[in-house]
Amino acid sequence: MDKTTASSLPFEHQREATKALDETFHGFLSRTTMGLSPIALALAAADWAMHLAASPGRQMVLGQRALALGQQAIATAMSPPEDAQGQPIVDNDNRFTDPSWRQWPFSVLKESYKANSTWWREAVQVDGMSRHHNHMVEFFTRQITDTFTPSNWLLTNPEALNKAQETQGQSLMQGFEHFTEDLRKAEVARSEPEALEPLTFAVGKDVAITPGKVVYRNHLIELIQYSPSTDKVYPEPLLIVPSCIMKYYILDLSPSNSMVRYMVGQGYTVFIISWRNPDASDRDLGMQDYLHRGVMDALAAVKERTGAPRVHALGYCLGGTFLAIVAAAMGRHTRMLEQHQGGARRRAEDHFMDSLPELATVTLLAAQTDFTEPGEMGVFIDDEQLKTLRQQMDRKGYLPGSVMAGSFQFLNMRELVFMRNTRRYLLGQEEADFDLMSWNADLTRLPARMHSEYLSSLFLNNALATGKYRVDGQGIALMDIHAPMLVVGTTRDHVSPWRSVYKIHLQTDTHVTFILAAGGHNAGIVSEPGRPRRSYQINSVEDNQGWIDPDDWVASAPTRQGSWWEAMDAWLKERSGKPIAPPAFDTAHVLCDAPGEYVMVRYVD
């Protein structure tokens, strides 16, 4: 054996052993901080503390502010504000709307808490901090102050105490039963890791029941074609690309709030992708697989099954990001053909592109294409956090659905944890069960490689918005999308903030109609006609019109009452051909009835 090789073996073995030790220790640390990187948290805290320590002027201002807020809290608690008619002003914080919060001593507790929260919001704002560290400190400070809200605790919650008195303690007994039931479920999940709690809304029986057939399947997707419900249909089929982070049937819930059923009823031939729920064997599936074997294969199958040369395409959340990337790649391919580049030596990928239909329109629902302002999700994204996440995924080969669900829950702890626990444990209220909640419990996974590539290239490096993202080795830009676009954001979206979604105007040079719908990331999209208290704003930007600031857009865009689905339907119909007879199902391509097999796969992580 060569001396150099022999002498290097012990070093290589030592390096691998120490690397394994480091990863084990990092994994232990991350588990103590709920999967977050303790190093990233420590760096953010140190950034804030050192900048504040070096700012005596800021410290003086905060000291004066603490005194002023304390005096204001006492004054407000002793004399609650009233309107011009002498009526009490309802608190704009939904944790304190009950009239009992206006009574001493609970008014003091409430106002002291609000003053303390205000002071901490101001205290974390220190000049010189990095933007990301400031965001992290601000976010976790808010989570901590929300934890100590007086409404979270029995002895400091007058509404809970009054309810206990009115019901002679029955509300507390009911709350204790809810608490023990939740503990029992947690113990079952720990002791019987293979046990799955049944969904309250069964897939294929209560939800996802719009009639249809699975007409295409590969390792990554099933493609569902829905049966027509009208005598005539528009010649352009509609392909829906949901997010692979979620089960597709969020867009096909109960018949009353199914977007799929609604669009079928408006005369569209609707197809939807049902993503496979991956396991450890899928660890090496990457972004390119999801673009090719997911979106592109689905487009090719729609064209083959219907013979339609043009297709409406709609993507939701991450599915919308995938669709935007594919649309840009298709636009680039068309531009290259028009410029007669490539000649006879065209690549295999180019020939595959030839088989795809033309995109008549592109619709993006709550989908980001620029990630410089990703909202609360940005708290979890930096180099150190991604390193910790990769180590977690490498052990299993996938990102567990429970981790994703926990992350989304963590982003909105006030509503999803604290206020839920108050209603359930302190007030003894039964938890309302509905189809969207059942869907939310139907967890999905993501392959390790795909999730790592997605976060690194898009969130961390913003490659798509800067023209650095590559498909088949070729750089793409959203400027190559020439199909008219309908883009929807929602007002209370913590996952895809609407101002981030709105940046599509900066990246494209085509017609864009933008809709700002009331609601959050899910409830704002599932907004069927007939639901009360729903509204949206809508306006269009034509070619060469120039940039309109989002705040100016909100100030000028007209507001309409009702469901934005109706506006989407009208927009698509304006860009559709004359209705024709519905395409028949080719029995040779029918694999099974909807909702198919992939959506039924559930795992315990």
| 95: exposed, middle or buried (Cβ count in 10 Å: 0-12, 13-18, 19+) | buried
H helix and E strand count, the chain = 22, 15
The alpha helices in 482-536, defined as continuous H runs, are: 498-501, 504-507
CA distance linking residue 160 with residue 396, whole number of Å: 43
Residue 391 in tokens = 């180590």
Which entry of 301, 308, 313, 317 is annotated as an active-site residue?
317
- Known catalytic residue at 592: no
Q: Kindly report the backbone phi and psi dihedral angles of residue 186, in degrees, each rounded to the nearest multiple of 5, phi listed first.
A: -65, -40
Instruction: Pick the closest to residue 482 from 282, 333, 602, 347 (CA basis).
Output: 333
Pairing verdict, β 398-399 and 559-561: unpaired
Angle at 223 between CA 217 and CA 225, to 5 degrees: 135
- Could you give the count of Cα atoms lying within 13 Å of 274 in the half-sphere of its Cβ? 25
Task: Annotate 464-486 with three-state secondary structure.
Answer: CCCCCCEECCEECCHHHCCCCEE
Identify whether the C-beta of residue 537 lies closer than 8 Å to the C-beta of residue 515.
Answer: yes
> 126-133: which pairs have CB atoms within 8 A and are 24 or more residues apart?
126/48, 126/51, 126/52, 126/55, 126/58, 127/51, 127/55, 127/58, 128/51, 128/55, 129/47, 129/48, 129/51, 130/47, 132/44, 132/378, 132/382, 133/43, 133/44, 133/47, 133/48
Q: Which residues carry out catalysis?
A: 317
